[in-house]
Amino acid sequence: MKPYNLCVNRGRLIAAVMVGAFCLAATSAMARDIPVLPELAIAGPESMLVKSLHEISDRRIGSALNGIEHLLKTNPNFRLAHLIRGDLLLARSRPISNMGDAAGVSPERIADLRAEARVRVQRHQEPVPRDMVPKYLLQMSSDQKYAVVTDTGKSRLYIYQNVQGKARYLADYYISSGKNGSQKLKEGDQKTPLGVYFITANLPRAKLTDFYGSGAFPINYPNEWDKRHGRSGYGIWLHGTPSDTYSRPPRASDGCVVLSNQDLDAVAATLQVGITPVLISDKVEWASPDEVIAQRNELAPHLENWRRDWESRNADNYLAHYGHNFSSGGQDLAKWSQHKRQVNVAKSWIKVDISNVGMLLYPGRDDLIVVSFDQDYSSSNLSNKMKKRQYWMKEKNGRWKIIYEGAA
């Protein structure tokens, strides 16, 4: 990549946003390659910061400094903005060669701020594709008003709104995630888990220490898939930042997903305990609406056939929908089959209605779908209603089979 150099020397600034191998070029030529997006007109802290960086690239140093100072008046704990302001002021007296060129600043801290600058600017270089959706959102159930999709690789959290079962982009936010990356395997590895999760609680500021900021929303890690693979740990939350911190570096948590308090408050308005899905990926994959519909339509007949065969009381047909590696509540396929056959013998009729169906493709896998629905079961000797969750896996022969089933 080309180097990012803004040459202004007492009127010329060399301000570099260099993060590892990534360099955001801001020579006049490279600056033209950075799209000036309408989103920059939105007066959010990140947009204001990126706007100032664009002004630096256009050599409008005075305007950039005014913008950064205005940003700091409303967000005095925004450390990245302080760093850029310091570079702009320092450049008045001497040339500087890199972002955070002041003496006495921890190299590790500077590296963290450069990393934050990179991912924030990258968001505006690579806007959210509005004609596509995250491929995981196959179908949102009617009670899921919103879905959360997190990209740990880009330090980004996306909110999608449920519009008649289809996902529509609403907003996105900068996040911090695990110090040691993603794909959590065990307790204490300081990694963020990848998978399909759900909000399990809403913990207000009053019940937390200042470290968690304006609130916290735990998720159900480890989920059924994690437990099957022996993954351990607990306490994975979406939460805010301490009162003296606007944002944390991209890799700074012990595994949680961390937002600024301002952003968490906005996201909190979309979260429903026990309902809102949180899908975490290390690289969000996008798909067209037609591709999403095709994937959904591939599984839908299998779900309906499972329901119909359960009603038929034909145990062989019903149990054929379960994979050989099925497990639930300590039961493998053999024990599950034995139990279901015994139950069916005692019934003269069964009626099963399912509604409010949601389907979520598991991040990192094209052969695993998490299905949730409301189940209304009645029979000659029992009736109940419950919210159920199933994991369907596609076998090598192309057939979808249930490998987990239980109450949601």
Residues 157-180 have a mean pLDDT of 96
Residues 275, 199: Cα–Cα separation, whole Å: 7
Q: What pLDDT was estimated at residue 56? A: 87
Pick from 38-47, 91-100, 163-172: least confident: 38-47
Dihedral pair phi/psi, residue 199, rounded to 5°? -65, 130
Q: What is the pLDDT of residue 92?
A: 79
Lookup: tokens for 73: 């008046």
* Alpha-carbon span 227 to 265, nearest angstrom: 31
pLDDT tens-digit map of 383-406: 999 999 999 999 999 999 999 999
User: Once rounded to an integer, what is the mean pLDDT over residues 247-258?
Assistant: 98
CA distance 8 to 4: 13
| Separation CA 37–CA 31 (nearest Å) | 13
Q: How confident is the model at residue 221 (pLDDT cuts 50, 70, 90)?
A: very high
| Per-residue b or e along 139-155, where b marks 16 or more CB atoms closer than 10 Å to that residue's CB | bbbeebebbbbbbbebb
Give the three-state DSSP class for 79. helix
Band of residue 14 on the pLDDT scale cut at 50, 70, 90: very low
d(CA 247, CA 120): 12
CB 348 within 8 A of CB 380: yes
Query: How confident is the model over 199-203, as a mean pLDDT?
Result: 98
* Out of 107-111, 200-204, 379-383, least confident range: 107-111
What integer pLDDT is reported at residue 103 of this predicted model? 58
SS3 state at 39: helix
pLDDT digits (tens, 9 = 90+) for 255-285: 999 999 999 999 999 999 999 999 999 999 9
Per-residue model confidence (pLDDT) at position 7: 37
pLDDT in tens, 55-107: 988 889 899 999 999 999 999 999 999 999 998 888 777 776 677 766 566 88
Per-residue pLDDT averaged across 155-161, rounded?
98
In the block, tokens 């939350």 appear at 237
Distances (CA, A) of 317 to 307, 309, 333: 11, 6, 14
- 3-state secondary structure (DSSP) of residue 218: strand
Distance in angstroms (rounded) separating the CA atoms of residues 159 and 378: 37
Mean pLDDT of the chain: 88
Q: Which residues contact 88 (CB under 8 A, 6 or more apart)?
A: 13, 15, 56, 61, 64, 65, 68
* DSSP SS3 for 229: coil
pLDDT for the residue 96: 67
Query: What is the model's pLDDT at position 284?
Result: 98
| Bridge partners, residue 61, by sequence | none
Q: Where are the beta strands (DSSP E) in 85-194?
A: 133-134, 137-139, 146-151, 156-163, 166-174, 177-178
Those residues whose C-beta lies under 8 Å from the C-beta of residue 397, and which sit 6 or more positions away, are none
- Whether the per-residue pLDDT at 2 is higher than 90: the answer is no
Distance in angstroms (rounded) separating the CA atoms of residues 22 and 206: 41
End-to-end alpha carbon distance in the chain: 47
pLDDT at residue 97 in the model? 67
Mean pLDDT is lowest, of 23-32, 214-223, 365-374, for 23-32
Rg (CA), the chain: 25
Q: What is the DSSP string of 342-393?
A: HHHHT-S-EEEEEEEEEEEEPTT-SSEEEEEEEEEEEESS-EEEEEEEEEEE
DSSP state of 227: H
For residue 392, which of 311, 317, 315, 298 has the smallest C-alpha distance?
298
Looking at residue 398, its amino acid is: G
Write down the residue that tokens 């050599």 correspond to: 59
Biggest CA–CA distance in the chain, Å, is 90
- What pLDDT sits at residue 161? 97
- In the chain, what percentage of residues exceed pLDDT 70? 87
What element of type H or E holds 115?
Answer: helix 107-125
Tokens 């007066």 appear where? Answer: 43
